[in-house]
Amino acid sequence: MPQAASRNRSIVLQQRPHGAPDAGTFRLTATPVPAPQGNQVLLRTLFLSLDPYMRGRISDAPSYSAPVEIGAVMVGATVSRVETSRHPDFEVGQLVLGYSGWQDYALSDGAGLNKLGDDVTLASRALGVLGMPGFTAYMGLLDIGQPKAGDTVVVAAASGAVGSLVGQIARIKGARAVGIAGGADKCRYVVDELGFDAGIDHRAPDFAQQLVAACPAGIDVYFENVGGAVFDAVLPLLNTLARIPVCGLIADYNATELPPGPDRLGLLARTILTKRIKMQGFIIFDDYGPHFGKFFAQMSQWLKDGKIKFREDIVDGLENAPQAFNGLLEGKNFGKLVIRVTQD
Amino acid sequence: MPQAASRNRSIVLQQRPHGAPDAGTFRLTATPVPAPQGNQVLLRTLFLSLDPYMRGRISDAPSYSAPVEIGAVMVGATVSRVETSRHPDFEVGQLVLGYSGWQDYALSDGAGLNKLGDDVTLASRALGVLGMPGFTAYMGLLDIGQPKAGDTVVVAAASGAVGSLVGQIARIKGARAVGIAGGADKCRYVVDELGFDAGIDHRAPDFAQQLVAACPAGIDVYFENVGGAVFDAVLPLLNTLARIPVCGLIADYNATELPPGPDRLGLLARTILTKRIKMQGFIIFDDYGPHFGKFFAQMSQWLKDGKIKFREDIVDGLENAPQAFNGLLEGKNFGKLVIRVTQD
């Protein structure tokens, strides 16, 4: 069932998952393509971004955004083409970055839409290196992490959309970059292709010892996007005055209960105290929205200068989004995960 | 065995405690009074400050300072009188703030000594409201906590040297101050005498519910100086963008093992992430030393204007320091604990 002009396929939340999303979590539906009213534009989705934060949006646990309602279309950033326009600022055929969600078509009054260049082969960058993931890596590392030359910066999911950029930006700032990833291929990639100083496989039985060996001077910045066993290995290596930007905790997203004891909450607090550590959560657009232009200009320059590389993991077909999303939570993607909703 | 001109009583660390310090932890000894050499001064201790951080100094667990060696004199801030001077900057009879530790006499080459005014009745303030505890409250609250008008600021050990000031400074900045203390007397004191908006007894069986009731708009700043059950009650009440300066964890200092599970380390990380919380440890002179003058001037003005009140818990006799120190760890003191080593 590919994209068509006559119907709008959409993926809606059918029920909240207990643990990992399963076959009952999402449902593919089709409805008539809506007609723009007033000053609306009709957008046709070309690319849909899949990102770990979406796991939080389908849970009803307290979080930083309201959950997606049961029966509602899944949210997500998209690159779309303007199909019909009643809005003076948008012309048919233009490419825009927006938030149409997991569906073929969406209406918009223009709020929150950003026009992109004409090159559709570059459009998906707006969902990755030049979009939310890139902005997240840039601000979290530079504003909270504040790496100095010679510092050791550790990041997990190091071949992913955010982690790959955290390590490369750390290198640009003169720091050592230690990446943690799942499997030998990803570890080789972050070292050989992205220039990290070390790549460590978190699936290795001696992972914690390998991390010790890769951080002989301890850890000054730990960019937290996974939690779980990686954080356990990082904790004893943190240096005095270390900084921990907390961007995500993907290892815990599917957890249904707290792990068994002992209770290390006090241990973490004691480490923060005795090592004078700063640990700070952030939500990129809420905390740093006004800085987007600065980020975009800098990242574009780095791309142009060949200082930043990136990799996309493109999956074809809207109907494959649920499976690809589960793979993302399990670390199966390799690079920024994007759904190509249609070949345009 | 009072202070005498002919011998130097000192309290040395005899063995590291396992859990709470006991009769074998410290030992009182006496040695000849040392004679100044070179440009040294001989100091005679009038007041000795007892503070929670000292528990960390007698442990050999990793911390922010080297531990006191077995057999060495216990460290501590003191107000002393210059008895003999071979130093051009110091005259016999002057009062100085220094770090002579738990003993009657000490030599100094002047490094780190600060001259105080002549009024011995005010001298002990240099160990409390105008010294390290005051500086800790001031910088931790204002630089990390950053209370805004209308915020709710929570602090435990609220009748103590640091907590009492945290709440009063929060009030000066227009915030609501909620103090937690042990027992009805201390709770009444922080409300009736210090002007806190609420005082809650952490020994009450419904302590957590009382805290909820006292924080109808949640908690914006939690000044952490105790940890343990108080933090457990605070955690679910933290607001988005809350700040947690971590100054101490007195409830855990005597702990010999981690508490039983479940393991809430990930829960804390998740709270930091979803609520975009900043949790930051600090060690006052290491992190903020150059700001002391600014603090001292501001706090002196507040004292003069009657905006800040303080209370001292003065215990007579150097020999009573170990017992008083244990009482401090158990919350038995009421106000800033100071040992009056001699009536001068």
CATH code, residues A7-128+310-340: 3.90.180.10
pLDDT of residue B240: 96
Distance CA(B165)–CA(B251), nearest Å, equals 20
pLDDT of residue B23: 92
**Is A64 in Cβ contact with B240 (below 8 Å)?**
yes
Distance CA(A249)–CA(A229), nearest Å, equals 11
**Is A279 in Cβ contact with B272 (below 8 Å)?**
yes
**Is A259 in Cβ contact with B263 (below 8 Å)?**
yes
**Is A286 in Cβ contact with B269 (below 8 Å)?**
no
Q: At what angle do helices B132-139 and B163-172 cross, to 10 degrees?
A: 40
Locate CATH 3.40.50.720 in chain B: 132-286
B236: closest chain A residue by CA = A62
A208-230 core/surface letters (b: 16 or more CB in 10 A; e: else)? bebbeebbeebbbbbbbbbbbeb
- Banded pLDDT at B270 (limits 50, 70, 90): very high
Which of A65, A249, A250, A270 to substitute to test the interface with B, most B CBs within 10 Å? A270
CB-based contact A316:A97 (threshold 8 Å): no
Q: Which two tokens stand for residue A330?
A: 């399990």
Locate CATH 3.40.50.720 in chain A: 134-286
Identity of the residue in A56, A260, A282 whose CB atom sits nearest the CB atom of B261: A260
**Is B63 in Cβ contact with A274 (below 8 Å)?**
yes
A53: closest chain B residue by CA = B274
Q: Kindly report the length of chain A.
A: 344
Distance CA(B92)–CA(A321), nearest Å, equals 82
Distance CA(A234)–CA(A229), nearest Å, equals 9
Q: Which two tokens stand for residue B90?
A: 């110091």
> A82-96, B100-114, B244-258: which has the minimum mean pLDDT?
B244-258
Query: Which CA distances in Å does B197 have to B76, B138, B304?
Result: 33, 19, 23
**Which residues in chain A touch residue B279, judged by CB atoms under 8 angstroms apart?**
269, 272, 278-280
Locate CATH 3.90.180.10 in chain B: 7-128+311-340
- At the fourth CATH level, the homologous superfamily of domain A134-286 is NAD(P)-binding Rossmann-like Domain (3.40.50.720)
> Each residue of B284-329: pLDDT tens digit?
988 999 999 999 999 999 999 999 999 999 999 999 999 999 999 9
Residue B254, pLDDT > 90, answer no
- Banded pLDDT at B118 (limits 50, 70, 90): confident
**Is B272 in Cβ contact with A246 (below 8 Å)?**
yes
Residue B226, pLDDT > 90, answer yes
Q: What secondary structure does DSSP assign to B205-219, as a single string?
A: TTHHHHHHHH-TT-E
- Banded pLDDT at A250 (limits 50, 70, 90): confident
Distance CA(B25)–CA(B34), nearest Å, equals 25
Distance CA(A338)–CA(A77), nearest Å, equals 10
- At the fourth CATH level, the homologous superfamily of domain B132-286 is NAD(P)-binding Rossmann-like Domain (3.40.50.720)
**A62 shares contact with chain B (CB less than 8 Å):** yes
**B254 shares contact with chain A (CB less than 8 Å):** no
Rounded to the nearest integer, the mean pLDDT of chain A is: 94
Question: Any idea what the Cα angle at residue B203 is, between residues B200 and B205, rounded to 5°?
Answer: 95
Residue B16, pLDDT > 70, answer yes
| Residue range B259-270: mean pLDDT, rounded | 94
| Residue range B98-103: mean pLDDT, rounded | 96
**Which residues in chain B touch residue A233, judged by CB atoms under 8 angstroms apart?**
none
| Residue range A190-207: mean pLDDT, rounded | 97
Residue B171, pLDDT > 90, answer yes
Sign for the pseudo-dihedral over CA of B146, B149, B152, B155: positive
Q: Quote the minimal CA–CA distance from A244 to chain B in Å.
A: 10
As a whole number of Å, the CA-based R_g of chain A is 21
CB-based contact A224:A247 (threshold 8 Å): yes
**A279 shares contact with chain B (CB less than 8 Å):** yes
**CB atoms closer than 10 angstroms to residue A191:** 20
| Residue range A320-324: mean pLDDT, rounded | 97
Report the share of chain B in percent with pLDDT over 70: 99
Number of H helices, E strands in chain B: 11, 15
> A11-15, B26-30, B249-253, B287-291: which has the minimum mean pLDDT?
B249-253
Task: With H, G, I as helix, E, B as strand and everything else as coil, classify residue A42.
Answer: strand
**B262 shares contact with chain A (CB less than 8 Å):** yes
**CB atoms closer than 10 angstroms to residue A103:** 25
Locate CATH 3.90.180.10 in chain A: 7-128+310-340
**A257 shares contact with chain B (CB less than 8 Å):** yes
- Helix ranges (H only) for chain B are 54-57, 120-123, 132-139, 163-172, 184-188, 207-214, 228-234, 265-274, 284-288, 292-304, 321-329
Distance CA(B102)–CA(B104), nearest Å, equals 7
Say which CATH architecture domain B7-128+311-340 belongs to. Alpha-Beta Complex (3.90)
> Each residue of B177-222: pLDDT tens digit?
999 999 999 999 999 999 999 999 999 999 999 999 999 999 999 9
Q: Number of residue pairs across A and B with CB atoms under 8 Å?
A: 150
> Each residue of A100-110: pLDDT tens digit?
999 999 999 99
CB-based contact B250:A273 (threshold 8 Å): no
pLDDT of residue B189: 97
A272: closest chain B residue by CA = B281
pLDDT of residue B64: 67
Identity of the residue in B62, B257, B277 whose CB atom sits nearest the CB atom of A281: B277
Distance CA(A288)–CA(A284), nearest Å, equals 6
Rounded to the nearest integer, the mean pLDDT of chain B is: 94
**A88 shares contact with chain B (CB less than 8 Å):** no
Residue A223, pLDDT > 70, answer yes
Of A165 and A122, more confident:
A165
> Each residue of B33-89: pLDDT tens digit?
999 999 999 999 999 999 999 998 998 876 667 799 999 999 999 999 999 999 999
3-state SS string for B110-146: CCCCEECCCCHHHHHHHHCCCCHHHHHHHHHHHHHHC
**Is A240 in Cβ contact with B273 (below 8 Å)?**
no
Residue A93, pLDDT > 70, answer yes
- Banded pLDDT at A64 (limits 50, 70, 90): low
pLDDT of residue B258: 92
- Banded pLDDT at A76 (limits 50, 70, 90): very high
